[in-house]
Structure 1
Amino acid sequence: MLTHPTLDQLHALGLYGMAKAFGELGKHGDTPQLAHAEWLGLLLDREIVHRHDKRLGARLRHARLRHNAAPEDIDYRSARGLDRRLVEKLLKGDWIDAHDNLALCGPTGIGKSWLACAIGHKACRDNRSVLYTRFPRLLDDLALSRGDGRIARKLKSLGQVELLILDDWGLQPLDAQARHDLLEILEDRYGRKSTIVTSQLDIASWHRAIGDATYADAILDRLLHNAHRIELTGDSLRRSKPTAAG
């Protein structure tokens, strides 16, 4: 068998997983014992894995998740009111297909951001587009985009991502422009895409935090009307662990 020409052809076709597997299989002494169908099956399996890993890597780079949080590492043992059945249901992703939202509340250090990132990581595995951003930083980015004329493109990109994670909502009062921008984002996404919001404030305080009754009604209607809710309680996980886990 002409090994090098075959490898060149596989690379030329963009079949890099198959090419790597082809080279590795050639080094195994029991390879000649494989039937043609078995050999081909192994090559195809490696190509599928290679493409999945490459796609997942691209999804995760685009998501810019704050924590390297895997859903398998979610801590259900800590006493913080985390409903395992609800989280496992959310990890399946049907709520994203239904374009629902998720409100995740609790005191600082309780693992809200970590849990949101774990859910985002699972969405990336499921080949969904995800974007994480801290809400205060998003407001700064929108202000800069407005100044250099990129605001329309910025809002459009926020409206298209399948799962948007807005972390640290409610840390600062919203001015008129921030309220308007938030309403535009949620209006574009309502019924079409899904959003996770994490906050130290309990949901009952969100209306007051927005600062304008008319905008608050409109924003919360689009955010909470179809939202699943997780309200965590208890002491900060950072007090007992070097790194807060979900």
Structure 2
Amino acid sequence: MINDETRRKLREMNLSEVVTALELQQQELSCVTLPFDERFQRITDYLYQEKYNSKIQRLIKLSKFRLPKAEVNDIYYCERGIDRNAIQELSTGQFIHSNTNIIFQGFTGSGKTFLACAIGRQACKQQIRTRYIRLPDLLVEHDEATLIVKSNAKLLKKYSSYGVLIIDEWLFEDISEDEQHFLFELIERRHDCTSTIFCTQYRKEDWHSRLGGGVHADAIMDRIVHNAIWIEAGKVNMREYCAKHRL
């Protein structure tokens, strides 16, 4: 057994996980008789898993998901018409490595946000920096940044740095010309470097007019739709479904 002084020194060096691992081993009679090398290997495996779990939880917290507990395994498929295989493929994270965008399209209440957060959570588990934000909130940040010198450049740098960026309520509200320019700059910086997930009620043919119908709309769409996976969110109102099954 390690003595109190050794415990103190380990904790002082921010190695409290080592103390926990040793104490867990001491509680297992089968570990006491193991060779030192094997015991040390088990401690190393324990510490690695603890550090990994801690990092994943930190990434999930920093992602600011609207639904932080959304899991791919909890996605409801029955009667929705969602392609289960497509969702499972997205959960592998391959789309991130190919810098592919994802577009979840469907009516309000169809579960777009849950799908996006579930995929985003999978990205966090693969240690990918991820961020969720509603487009109205992003544009508020942009409007505030325009009042401060160089703040808009910092905002673009911030949101272009995430490996996966989830933009919810995409094109939900009218967008000014200045906001169109901001979105173009953001999408341009992320194009072919990262992956962006869009949640929207609007079909592809409606995007151009929602983006102002001009050159900014052309440029934004050109950088999104040609390298995107489109997923229909399904035919079931998930808010209504969840409300009924919660009773």
- Which TM-score band applies after superposition, normalised by the shorter structure? over 0.9
Instruction: Structure 1: give runs of 5+ residues left out of the alignment.
Output: none
Match of 1:49 in 2: 49
Structure 1 residues 115 and 108 mapped into 2: Cα distance closer, same or farther (>3 Å)? same
CA contact (8 A) 2:106 2:232 kept: yes
Unaligned 5+ segments in structure 2 are none
Distance 2:218 2:177 in 1: 14
Task: Name the structure 1 match of 2:83.
Answer: 83
The answer as to whether partners of 1:18 and 1:47 remain within 8 angstroms in 2 is: yes
Q: Contact 1:7–1:19 at 8 Å: present in 2 too? A: yes
Tell me how far apart the structure 1 counterparts of residues 123 and 174 of structure 2 sit (CA, whole Å). 31
Which stretch of the first structure deviates more once superposed, 117-126 or 62-71? Answer: 62-71
Distance 1:176 1:237 in 2: 34
Q: CA deviation at 1:9?
A: 4.1
What CA distance in whole angstroms lies between the structure 1 residues aligned with 2:15 and 2:194? Answer: 33
Aligned to 1:126: 126
Secondary structure in structure 2 of the residue aligned to 1:225 = helix
Larger CA deviation: 11-20 vs 204-213:
11-20
1:176 deviates by 0.6
- Take 1:51 and 1:206, find their aligned partners in 2: how far apart are those partners? 43
Aligned residues: 243
Give runs of aligned pairs for residues 37-116 of structure 1, distance below 5 A: 37-67=37-67, 68-77=69-78, 79-116=79-116
After TM superposition, which residue ranges in structure 1, 4 or more long, deviate above 4 angstroms? none
- Residue 202 of structure 1 is matched in structure 2 by 203
Read off the aligned partner of 2:142 and give its amino acid letter: L
Q: How does 1:29-40 map to 2 (within 5 A)?
A: 29-40=29-40
Contact 1:90 1:119 in 2 (8 A): yes
How many angstroms does 1:138 deviate by? 0.5
CA-atom RMSD, angstroms? 1.8
- Return 132-141 or 23-32, whichever deviates more: 23-32
Aligned partner of residue 59 in structure 1, secondary structure: helix
Tell me the CA shift for residue 237 of structure 1. 1.4
Matches of 2:191 and 2:199 in 1, distance apart?
A: 18
What's the CA shift for 1:30? 4.2
TM-score, with structure 2 as normaliser? 0.92
Tell me how far apart the structure 2 counterparts of residues 201 and 217 of structure 1 sit (CA, whole Å).
16
Contact 1:207–1:220 at 8 Å: present in 2 too? yes
Deviation digits for residues 155-201 of structure 1, max 9, x if unmatched? 10111110000001121111111101110100000011110011011
Amino acid at match of 1:163: V
Q: Is the CA contact (8 Å cut-off) linking 1:168 and 1:200 kept in structure 2?
A: yes
1:173 is paired with a residue whose SS is coil
Identity %: 29
Contact 1:103 1:229 in 2 (8 A): yes
SS at match of 1:241: helix
User: Any idea what the Cα deviations from partners look like across 1:19-61, whole Å, max 9, x if unmatched?
Assistant: 2111232244444222223311221121011100111111111
Q: Structure 1: which amino acid aligns with 2:207?
A: W
Contact 1:17–1:43 (CA<8 Å) still a contact in 2? no
Answer with 173-182 or 14-23: which moved more. Answer: 14-23
1:138-217 to 2 correspondences below 5 Å: 138-149=138-149, 150-217=151-218
